[in-house]
Amino acid sequence: MLVYGHPASQVLPLWNYFPVKAIMLNAFQIASTKKLYEKVKEVGLRKVFHIPEGVQIWLDSGGYQALRRGVKLKVENVIKWYNDMKPDYCIALDNPVAPNDPKAEKKVKENIENAKKMYGEVNCELLPVYHPVKEELLWEYYQGYSFSDIKAVGGLIPRILTQKNASRKEGWEFLVRVREMESSWLHALGLGSPTTYPKLMALGYQSADTQTWRHKAAYGKIVLPGKGERHVSGKKIRFGRKKISEEEKVEAVRIARKLGMSWGELVKDFKARAIFNAYVLHLVSSTPSQFPHRMP
């Protein structure tokens, strides 16, 4: 299952264009805007963001974004946010851990303690989070998270989506290792891109989330099924400059027409590109076996 990540500042109504099973929002973003937070507490996420009843609402703590601003979230605050906002599924507050982190053991223990505390106090389905750690700490996670039958794997975006060679290979090996250990539902945090989603499904993961559909659109790019990203706007960019061919343009126009859009809108409008990319992700997630998933 694909979970579409949205910033709280702009939730696009993707369900008006194709079936959407779930979206993910950020609790820290919502709680940081007092007026928005009060409105959510009053009427709920679904009404504030006009989310249909059939679409699951997932909520991430926003702990990583907070850390980048120099703020370490308190588990008590996140519990309150989750209970105020009332999502269907929620991600446990976690501290990012890397295999060579000198504080890895301390962070793993804290992550397990946070997850256990939250599990007993939140009113949403909680996903505790695995991180890429050494084998002995991985087993500590496994034993510590035995209370839950749905879990997430996080901390792999830098390895799998932005780095290459050995680091990327190690990231995929860790995903395989967790899948071998766990019989639970597994969700891959941030890894639901068009290239990674089919691989995750081939490994036996049940779900993943992503905001790549938005990020690519912001850089003037669209994603084509099985072909990757193509630059279509007049924006100047420093990377991923591959422009669309005439043959690919025909395919893009065909997809755009299905969504009630024109080629001109794709070139000029961020929202049109974002919805287009989200739809391509929908196609990939609906039939992942039709798209390449060669392991690195």
The better pLDDT of the pair 61, 238 is held by 61
Instruction: Please report the pLDDT score of residue 227 as a whole number.
Output: 85
Domain match, 106 and 237 both: no
In a domain, 285, yes or no: no
Domain match, 181 and 70 both: yes
pLDDT bin (cut points 50, 70, 90) of residue 11 is very high
Q: What is the DSSP string of the chain?
A: -EEEE--TT----GGGTS---EEEEEHHHHHTSHHHHHHHHHH-HHHHTT--TTSEEEEE--HHHHHHTT-PPPHHHHHHHHHHH--SEEEPP-----TT-TTHHHHHHHHHHHHHHHHHH-SSEEE-EE-S--HHHHHHHHHHTTT-SEEEE-S-HIIIII--HHHHHHHHHHHHHHHHH--SEEEETT--STTTHHHHHHHT--EEEE-HHHHHHHTTEEEETTTEEEE-SS---SS--PBPPHHHHHHHHHHHHHTT--HHHHHH-HHHHHHHHHHHHHHHHHSGGGS-----
Number of domains in the chain: 2
Domain match, 146 and 242 both: no
Structural domain for 135, as ranges: 2-210
**Least confident segment among 53-62, 220-229, 233-242:** 233-242
Distance CA 133, CA 139 (A): 10
Instruction: Please report the pLDDT score of residue 67 as a whole number.
Output: 84
> Which one of 166, 192, 210 terminates a domain?
210
Domain match, 205 and 141 both: yes
Domain match, 156 and 23 both: yes
Give me the mean pLDDT over the 39-46 stretch: 97
Instruction: Please report the pLDDT score of residue 93 as a whole number.
Output: 96
In a domain, 291, yes or no: no
pLDDT in tens, 253-281: 999 999 999 999 999 999 999 999 999 99
Distance CA 7, CA 12 (A): 9
pLDDT in tens, 143-197: 999 999 999 999 998 778 765 665 888 899 999 999 999 999 999 999 999 989 9
Distance CA 96, CA 64 (A): 8
Give me the mean pLDDT over the 13-36 stretch: 97
> Which one of 155, 186, 210 terminates a domain?
210
Domain match, 179 and 248 both: no
Domain match, 266 and 202 both: no
Instruction: Please report the pLDDT score of residue 70 as a whole number.
Output: 87
In a domain, 273, yes or no: yes
pLDDT in tens, 227-248: 889 999 876 655 555 778 899 9
Domain match, 10 and 50 both: yes
The better pLDDT of the pair 126, 69 is held by 126
The better pLDDT of the pair 291, 262 is held by 262
Domain match, 203 and 236 both: no
pLDDT bin (cut points 50, 70, 90) of residue 294 is very low
> Which one of 192, 210, 228 terminates a domain?
210
State the CATH number of the domain containing residue 188.
3.20.20.105
Mean pLDDT of the chain, nearest integer? 92
Domain match, 192 and 255 both: no
Domain match, 184 and 92 both: yes
In a domain, 295, yes or no: no
In a domain, 246, yes or no: yes
Distance CA 296, CA 201 (A): 15
In a domain, 226, yes or no: yes
Domain match, 114 and 261 both: no
In a domain, 288, yes or no: no
In a domain, 292, yes or no: no
Give me the mean pLDDT over the 61-77 stretch: 91
